[in-house]
A = this chain, B = another copy of it.
Amino acid sequence: MLSNINVKSMPISLKEDIDMENFMIGTYFAKFPANIPVAKLAPAMAVEQSTGTWIPVPGETEEVRQKHVAKVVALYEVPDYEYIVPSDVKIRNYIIQIAYPIVNFGSQIAMMMSTVVGNISLAGQIKLIDLYLPKKYVEGFKGPKFGIAGIRKLLGVPKRPILNNMIKPCTGYTPEVGVQLFKEAALGGVDIVKDDELIANASFNTVEQRVKLYMEAEKEIYEEKGERTLYTVNITDDIPKVFENAKRAIELGCNAIMVNFVATGLPVLKALAEDPNINVPILAHMDVAGALHMSPEYGMSSHIMLGKLARLAGADIVVHPAPYGKATVLPEKFSRIAMNLSFPMYHIKPTFPMPSGGITPANVPQVIKDLGPNIVIGSGGGIHAHPQGATAGAKAFRQAIDATMSGVSLEEAAKEHKELAASLTAWKDPFSIVGKK
């Protein structure tokens, strides 16, 4: 299950005089040449991200500083040299924590990002590795409308992991082809069918066309399987079209939506979630996030954008990379994202983590062991490329989920379920091309 480290992203140390209620705390990893006086530079960076610039200006009075200046609240060197720094150490590593007065930006995301990432992201080798959000800041947000409990209620699935299928191929197919893939997957027991992030309102396959066909199919399939299927249609687009796509989809009866929220920007996700007319769950897709988090020395850690901020902005489900298949993520970073989506966060509902990227039924016991059952399991090729077809692919996943929830091994369950057996035979080490297990 989830580890407990840093669960609420509390600052690792504080000056005693900091009023926690009124400050957001950014934690940074930074590297500087060995001769830089970081004890002077770090406060200068804090000042630059609030009241000041590189030189004192007349308007930066004591009163202005009192209320609005950002402060370094912790500065640690790693390792913790006390006297002699070895002469071969050319670069020294630091953890810096800066407290920002929330009055400077208020309860909004865009100006907060300009403050805690903003120009500081241009200051050299520096990465935002955590963000503490005080209650007063979070109070201005609504978060997810549905969250884990709301989606479980919609689907009538109280405990087990939810099964999601992304339609594959990613793009280039017609709505008529898509609805066949939708039907096959849904019939096999998929709870949520999503578009791939690479198809949205395309000229050859529009949101409107897909929603009409898929939602009609959803009704038929409900008659047959007795379970509802959510369809998260990808409404990603520029403004205002992204909002028009969402509204049109809902008018046509779509029961969920999906947005590539890093590509559109967090404010688009937040506006969708805050719109009272958008009364369906929102699935937020991770693509583009790697450009922000993959460097160990620049940008911001994955759990900030894909965890805390996506949830704060109102995502009901967040797709994030899983360490079992084709995605490139450390297991501890994977868990950290899921943790930030679901740990207690004032009044904000927990969001469903949706691990994704080359997952097959063989990975189901491990993903449940790693994150617990409050997850959406995402599979594309693992369903559509099943040797017996997509319906069998979905069945194999449901069989794997049910077995794991009942404490039965997959090998044991496969003896009674031919779909699961076929899946386990097909996929043992599908990612050998990239040198991974």
Partner of A290, one of B123, B285, B430: B123
Judge whether A49 and B265 touch: CB under 8 Å.
no
In the assembled complex, the Cα of A236 lies from the Cα of B114 at a distance in Å of 9
Residues in B neighbouring A69, C-beta threshold 8 A: 172
With A106-B203, A114-B197, A291-B121 as contacts: A384 and B59 at CB distance below 8 Å: yes
Interface of A is mostly: loop
In the assembled complex, the Cα of A35 lies from the Cα of B238 at a distance in Å of 41
Judge whether A289 and B104 touch: CB under 8 Å.
no
- Interface flag for A44 (CB, 8 Å): yes
Judge whether B299 and A170 touch: CB under 8 Å.
no
Partner of A53, one of B122, B170, B204: B170
Chain multiplicity (copies): 2
Q: Which of A250-267 contact B (CB under 8 A)?
A: 260, 263-267
Judge whether A110 and B237 touch: CB under 8 Å.
yes
Partner of A104, one of B119, B171, B242: B171
Give, as a whole number of angstroms, the nearest-CB distance from A290 to chain B: 3
Residues in B neighbouring A431, C-beta threshold 8 A: 54
Judge whether B295 and A172 touch: CB under 8 Å.
no
Residues in B neighbouring A170, C-beta threshold 8 A: 48, 50-53
In the assembled complex, the Cα of A285 lies from the Cα of B35 at a distance in Å of 32
- Interface flag for A56 (CB, 8 Å): yes
Partner of A122, one of B105, B171, B294: B294
Residues in B neighbouring A327, C-beta threshold 8 A: 122
Binds B, one of A18-26, A60-68, A343-351, A408-416: A60-68
Smallest CB-CB separation from A60: which chain B residue?
A: B169
Judge whether B54 and A326 touch: CB under 8 Å.
yes
In the assembled complex, the Cα of A238 lies from the Cα of B123 at a distance in Å of 25
Size of the chain A interface, CB-CB below 8 angstroms = 110
Residues in B neighbouring A265, C-beta threshold 8 A: 264-268
Partner of A385, one of B56, B201, B294: B56
With A53-B169, A267-B238 as contacts: A204 and B103 at CB distance below 8 Å: yes
Judge whether A263 and B110 touch: CB under 8 Å.
yes
Residues in B neighbouring A125, C-beta threshold 8 A: 294
Residues in B neighbouring A118, C-beta threshold 8 A: 197-198, 260, 263, 287-288
Judge whether A292 and B291 touch: CB under 8 Å.
yes
In the assembled complex, the Cα of A43 lies from the Cα of B396 at a distance in Å of 30
- Interface flag for A89 (CB, 8 Å): no
Give, as a whole number of angstroms, the nearest-CB distance from A240 to chain B: 6
Residues in B neighbouring A104, C-beta threshold 8 A: 171-172, 198-199, 202
In the assembled complex, the Cα of A264 lies from the Cα of B108 at a distance in Å of 11
Smallest CB-CB separation from A270: which chain B residue?
A: B238
In the assembled complex, the Cα of A328 lies from the Cα of B32 at a distance in Å of 13
- Interface flag for A57 (CB, 8 Å): yes
Residues in B neighbouring A202, C-beta threshold 8 A: 103-106
Give, as a whole number of angstroms, the nearest-CB distance from A376 to chain B: 18
- Interface flag for A55 (CB, 8 Å): yes
Residues in B neighbouring A153, C-beta threshold 8 A: none
- Ordered by A's residue number, 6 sampled pairs between the chains whose C-beta atoms are within 8 Å are A33-B435, A59-B181, A119-B287, A122-B287, A291-B292, A294-B295
Known: A69-B172, A113-B263, A239-B271. 13 other contacts (CB 8 A): A51-B169, A54-B326, A57-B380, A59-B384, A60-B168, A105-B202, A114-B260, A117-B288, A120-B290, A124-B294, A238-B270, A240-B271, A290-B298
